[in-house]
């Protein structure tokens, strides 16, 4: 059954759990997430980026989601636009049947520069007004994701910019968050606190200096009802790095967001936890393993089935770790 982000996160707040939002691009990812949700009795957020919509096509994405809704009728599913960069992106997602959209006004639409506060307020407010009129939820973003170690604004995955930012720009201002949420009426707010997209988040296991969980705490003190969103929340587990590298991959040693830090965030009102990199690594690690161990194999299913199972295992772990399990 399809639900909105607002409905799901209100329930998460009441019961004190977090919901991982996994990125989807294809059938195997969607099936892996739904199988994990059934195994753990967890509600689901499936999120599609602009890149995912371009890769698969809106009809393919939405029909696949309709298909798993029929296959898994007991699981509530929110279909969310990840990182909408413009009103047009958000409106076409709503038209396609998404029940939630992210208007990411933290960057200009071309993602080349940090946006002004007025631009972010204005575009997010407009999208929220239109979305709410048709029963769709909205996630906004305040503050720029990027590394507190290097000051680099992020561009890990091709979108985002290359410049250097101050610590101020890389951390959401809690007082500004109050103003932003009050004026835009967003249902959820993505905040900047030192996480970034992709595999290369930290050069060491993060402490409070480079992963500023205290920002979530400060916003939660001011706005205890607000649903916070953590982007760049992959943990980049050592085991997945090892699987990838043992099978011919080349990934330099890196550190992600430890699961126990996310669990602390959930206590501070973090309700939606965005994870893509871990999913990618789990699947491509297994594809590499099959390719290395069975060079004679050319049945694509023999590659994708173990990859699906690896993603399913990761999703089960996150549903259990975030307290989503048992909440469907």
Chain residues that interact with Zn ion, rule: CB under 5 A: 231, 274
Number of CB atoms found within 10 A of residue 90's CB: 27
Choice from 31, 102, 144, 315 touching Na ion (CB under 5 A):
102
The yes-or-no answer on residue 179 being catalytic is no
Q: How far apart are CA 163 and CA 21, in angstroms?
A: 28
Choice from 174, 194, 198, 285 touching ligand 13P (CB under 6 A):
198
Q: How far apart are CA 104 and CA 89, in angstroms?
A: 11
Q: Does 7 bind ligand G3H (CB under 6 A)?
A: no
Decide: 282 and 28 in contact? Cβ < 8 Å. no
163-192: which residues touch ligand G3H (CB under 6 A)? none
Q: Does 139 bind ligand 13P (CB under 6 A)?
A: no
- What is the closest distance, in whole angstroms, from the C-beta atom of residue 140 to Na ion in the complex? 10
Please report how the helices 300-321 and 27-40 are oriented relative to each other, as an axis angle in degrees rounded to 10. Answer: 40
Of the residues 10, 82, 162, 278, which is catalytic?
Answer: 82
Q: Does 60 bind ligand G3H (CB under 6 A)?
A: no
In 3-state terms, the chain is what percent helix, strand and coil (to 5)?
45, 15, 40
Choice from 28, 82, 139, 261 touching ligand 13P (CB under 6 A):
82
Q: Which of 160, 171, 179 is nearest to 104 (CA)?
A: 160
Host H or E run for residue 313: helix 300-321
- What is the closest distance, in whole angstroms, from the C-beta atom of residue 160 to ligand G3H in the complex? 9
Judged by DSSP in three states, 209 sits in coil
Q: How far apart are CA 157 and CA 180, in angstroms?
A: 27
Q: Which is nearer to Zn ion, 196 or 321 (CB)?
A: 196
Extract the annotated binding site: 83, 104, 141, 197-198, 231-234, 274-277
Active-site residue numbers? Answer: 82
Where does this chain bind ligand G3H (CB under 6 A)?
A: 23, 49, 51-52, 82-83, 157, 159, 197, 276
Where does this chain bind ligand 13P (CB under 6 A)?
A: 23, 82-83, 197-198, 231-234, 274-278
């Amino acid at each position: 059954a399809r639900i909105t982000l607002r409905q799901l996160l209100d329930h998460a707040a009441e019961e004190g759990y977090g919901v991982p939002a996994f990125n989807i691009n294809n059938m195997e990812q969607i099936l892996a997430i739904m199988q994990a949700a059934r195994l753990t009795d967890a509600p689901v957020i499936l999120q599609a980026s602009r890149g995912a919509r371009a890769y698969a096509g809106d009809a393919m994405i939405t029909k696949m989601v309709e298909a798993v809704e029929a296959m898994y009728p007991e699981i509530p599913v929110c279909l969310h636009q990840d990182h909408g960069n413009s009103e047009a992106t958000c409106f076409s997602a709503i038209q396609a049947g998404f029940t939630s959209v992210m208007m990411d006004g933290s960057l200009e639409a071309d993602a080349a520069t940090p946006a002004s506060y007025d631009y972010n307020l204005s575009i997010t407010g407009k999208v929220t007004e239109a979305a709410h009129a048709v029963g769709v939820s909205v996630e906004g973003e305040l503050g720029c994701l990027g590394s507190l170690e290097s000051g680099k604004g992020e561009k890990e995955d091709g979108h985002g910019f290359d410049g250097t930012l101050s610590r101020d720009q890389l951390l959401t201002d809690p007082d500004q968050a109050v103003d932003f949420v009050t004026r835009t009426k967003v249902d959820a707010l993505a905040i900047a606190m030192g996480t970034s997209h992709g595999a290369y988040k930290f050069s060491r296991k993060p402490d409070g200096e480079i992963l500023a969980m205290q920002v979530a705490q400060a916003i939660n003190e001011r706005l205890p009802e607000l649903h916070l969103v953590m982007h760049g929340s992959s943990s980049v587990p050592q085991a997945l790095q090892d699987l990838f590298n043992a099978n011919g991959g080349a990934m330099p040693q890196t550190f992600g967001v430890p699961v126990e830090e996310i669990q602390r965030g959930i206590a501070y009102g973090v309700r939606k936890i965005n994870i893509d990199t871990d999913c990618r690594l789990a699947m491509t690690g297994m594809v590499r393993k099959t390719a290395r161990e069975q060079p004679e194999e050319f049945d694509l299913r023999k590659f994708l089935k173990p990859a699906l199972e690896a993603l399913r295992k990761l999703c089960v772990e996150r549903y259990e770790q975030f307290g989503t399990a048992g909440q469907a």
